[in-house]
Chains A and B, each alone.
Chain A
Amino acid sequence: MAASGAAVRGGGRAFLSLALGVSLLKCLLIPAYYSTDFEVHRNWLAITHSLPVSRWYYEATSEWTLDYPPFFAWFEYTLSHIAKVFDPEMLNIQNLNYASPRTVLFQRFSVIFTDVLFIYSVYECCKCIEGKKAGKELTEKPTFILSVLLLWNFGLLIVDHIHFQYNGFLFGLMLLSVARLFQKRHLEGAFLFAILLHFKHIYLYVAPAYGIYLLRSYCFTADKPDGSVTWSSFSFLRLIALGFIVCFVSALSLGPFIAMPSIFCLWFKPQGPRGFLRCLIVCALSSFMFGWHVHEKAILLAILPMSLLSVGKPQDAAIYLLLTTTGHYSLFPLLFTAPEFPIKVLLMLLFTVYSFSSLKTLFRKEKLLNWMETIYLVGLGPLEICCELVFPFTPWKLKYPFIPLFLTSVYCAAGITYAWFRLSVSMLPGPAVSKAKLQ
């Protein structure tokens, strides 16, 4: 008992160190380059602070009009009251592209501070991972590895804390809702997801997964022995409760015809919260691949939840490594300024080396990637050298300036498509599974 108590304390201390360490790194990145998204959010602070609610979605002085759902607008409104203390000039709608040092400091700190929700959600997710072998060294435990993979995620760091966005706390809401579903607190999970949708509508992509899972695994209270639905166990009460929270989710979901196979599996052969998570990831990835007006940052919607699966099974770890390395590399064109080049390369190396070595150590008995997959990933190195170090000095730079972007997109598309394919396949339960269940 004493040993496990010490282990828990040691784990808690390690988690705190990781969270504090990454937060301090985020503070050091405050002077880095920021994109036009910075001005977008400054403008929204100004709009929500200076105008009555009825005019928020009509205001068009700046080209960056408010195009996120109302909860996000209220979030900006709350922030604007703190912004007043730092620099009231940023709240003037006419101050286009206003970026005084205090404004930068405030906005950057607001992202770092709201990440506290993300840190809490990671803590909750770690509780859902079974610590199989006690007595292992702390840094080899799945919970520790998951903490690092989520807290120090490369994509989140460069998109939120350099490029500038508020994905941290939003993904915190999403991961927290996933954790609640794992913990069988279904209503809470549904509630959190509903709130999330009204912060940023991009999460609609994964709504089908939530809808079907909650309908199938929560409203139907019992399963037949072979896993198929027991119609008689349907609970109207639960459905109404959910309905209050979730009915509009299913109705508004986008692209269900693409995510259909995984949705079918979730209905006909549910595999509990893990199956739901797998379906969520496939929905996210499908929408990334086939959706309308997709941003490259949307790959994070698939990568972050996938971290939870990666510490569970070796096959998932392999898909995770492929998806993450390729997906993170596809974010490189977001940071095109020279001073940030070493930082993005080093952070990418840091995350990639850690994810590979920790997952390989966790699943040391299995071989994670075959030679083809390894060569593909290693090819990212020469690709980066060609695109950012060689190409700018060639005569083609003036005539065909978009070649590096084109090469990056095509190369990464291959890897992401392959990962999507493998993930979809992993959703289909094989015939051996049902036979084993019968026995």
Chain B
Amino acid sequence: MKEWHSMTIAVLVGLTVRWAVSLNSYSGAGKPPMFGDYEAQRHWQEITLNLPVQEWYFNSSDNNLQYWGLDYPPLTAYHSLLCAYVAEFINPDWVALHTSRGYESDHHKLFMRSTVFIADLMIYIPAVVLYCCYLKETSPRKKIANAFCILLYPGLLLIDYGHFQYNCVSLGLTLWGVLGLSYDWDILGSLAFCLALNYKQMELYHSLPFFCFLLGKCLKKDLKGKGLLLLIKLITTVVAAFALCWLPFFTQLEQTMQVLRRLFPVGRGLFEDKVANFWCSLNVLLKIKSLLSPHTQLMFSFALTFLSLLPACLKLTLQPSLRGFKYALVSCALSFFLFSFQVHEKSILLVSLPVCLILNEVPFMSIWFLLVSTFSMLPLLLKDQLALASVGTTLGFGVACASSFSIFENISEEELQLRSFSVYVRRHIPGFKVPAKMLKTWFLVSVTMMSLLTLTSITVEPPHKLPDLFPVLVCLVSCLHFLLFLIYFNVIILWDHRNGRSQKKIN
């Protein structure tokens, strides 16, 4: 069958599954007075449509910041405004100031779901298709299988089309950025990433690899000549992009400061609710939230985050390569997720996107990671009545990956990209072998543990004395997996010799 026919079918299956997930409930459905993320997005449409720009981020009688105040950068606000214009055209009651609070109806739900779908269709899905079509050294069949699996990744589906968010916009724009950088369209790539950053500030997790890769490219082109020119062009692009997005908020310093205060609520503490990162897991054994002062917590978090991502970033700056860039995206985002401040469980999606990009290189480990990432959000998904959708999409993803990639055959060092690492270790410890055969067993144990925890969380009531038992267990198990994955990905980056010694061009 022609390649584009198969790709169309893969995309159509992805779209169908998205709408099937949309049939389910959303965050905060029928739960006054605060509701959830769905109501937050609707409220932002109400605010941006009815109030002037200067009042969007400020507390006033018309805009109570305690009730879902805007806490994403301006591009989200503009997107909400665009959606609000359409909403007003269809039914003004949906976005009327004050009176539309907590508005819920079947038609409104369809409208909101459609806004996510259209954003997805315009930004994220074309980026995925293009990325897979232009993968190097891959057969057409593998390219389509790759796209198919990425489009079926349950985590993004469940959060965007279930819980309700617009991660497809920021992740899609980041992917366009990666595409741009792969083809040496550095200006366009950095422009796309700046837009992503101005859509959700969490994209800062990806900013260091972008920065180091581009800096590395400039250095390689010799900072005195072409390199300097590229650097200047990039700086201009970034400044211009930010200026354009923040234009209405640059008129007064107070405006800018208020927006920044909304984006980075450092007063809110090291973590909120249960999240599968290092601090929350440590807190189970050692109550650091009460032991250390907020300032010390901030310092520790800062230090640990940067220490863990420094090696990968340094290597990327000194030996810039597309391969290194993709792996650095994974490890930096994972470092931020594990050690940073005020991390939400949905931020794991920022790690999942780069992992999707290396799916064709290390299919076994990537699929394992993507399964764990979906599992780590289980408490949130159960709260949103998405149990059936979660299990269904996760199993479907498993079936799609099992039939696309031969993950059940024997895994070798080469396939895990650990050949150079084991060669290095063998120089010091002869006879060392990466326990590749054991991996299959560990994978089965891991999947069994996750399935059992999922089943128990859905069917059994937790004991009275420990009402948060299951969410905490989910977080601990996921955090352990993530720490091991962090080590694994860093090992690949640091022992990657291919691009240092080979004569291949940057690509």
Contact = CB atoms under 8 A, between A and B. Distances in A.
Nearest to A349: B12
B293 interface: no
A343 B403 contact: no
A339 interface: yes
A13 B16 contact: no
B127 to A, nearest CB: 20
A338 B8 contact: no
A361 B1 contact: yes
Interface in A2-34: 13-14, 17, 20-21, 24-25, 27-32
A31 B106 contact: no
Interface string A189-232: 00000000000000000000000000000000000000000000
B400 A21 contact: yes
B241 interface: no
Interface stretch (B21-29, B296-304, B319-327): B21-29
B402 interface: yes
Interface string B1-21: 110011011001101110111
A139 B5 CA distance: 12
Nearest to A30: B388
Interface string B385-403: 0001101110110011011
Contacts of A343: 16, 19-20, 23
A21 B9 CA distance: 14
Nearest to A31: B23
A347 interface: yes
Contacts of A361: 1-2
Contacts of B17: 25, 28
A251 B289 CA distance: 83
A31 B24 contact: yes
Interface string A403-430: 0000000000000000000000000000
Contact of A28 (B8, B21, B107): B21
A29 B400 CA distance: 18
Nearest to A13: B403
A350 B8 CA distance: 8
Contacts of A24: 392-393, 395-396, 399
A361 B2 CA distance: 8
A154 B9 CA distance: 14
A71 interface: no
B399 A139 contact: no
Interface in B373-387: none
B339 interface: no
Contacts of A17: 399-400, 402-403
A393 to B, nearest CB: 11
Contacts, number: 83
Nearest to A342: B19
Nearest to B403: A17
A21 B399 contact: yes
A353 B392 contact: no
Nearest to A32: B23
Interface size class of B (residues with CB under 8 A): 20 to 34
A346 interface: yes
A342 B110 CA distance: 10
- Determine the main DSSP class of B at the interface with A: helix
B13 A27 contact: no
Given A28-B392, A29-B20, A338-B107, A350 B13 contact: yes
Nearest to A10: B403
B117 interface: yes
A346 B21 CA distance: 14
B1 A21 contact: no
Contacts of A353: 5, 8-9, 12
Interface in A29-54: 29-32
A28 B12 contact: no
Contacts of B109: 339
Contacts of B16: 25, 343, 346-347, 350
Nearest to B394: A24
Interface in B91-124: 106-107, 109-110, 113, 117
A21 B109 CA distance: 27
B23 A339 contact: yes
A57 B21 CA distance: 40
Nearest to A358: B1
B385 to A, nearest CB: 9
Nearest to B408: A13
Given A14-B403, A338-B106, A346-B12, A357 B20 contact: no
The 10 closest A-B pairs by CB, nearest first: A357-B5, A28-B20, A17-B403, A350-B12, A24-B396, A346-B16, A31-B23, A27-B392, A342-B19, A28-B392
Given A27-B388, A28-B17, 9 more contacts: A21-B396, A21-B399, A21-B400, A28-B21, A340-B23, A342-B15, A346-B19, A349-B12, A361-B2
5 contacts: A24-B392, A28-B21, A339-B110, A342-B15, A350-B12
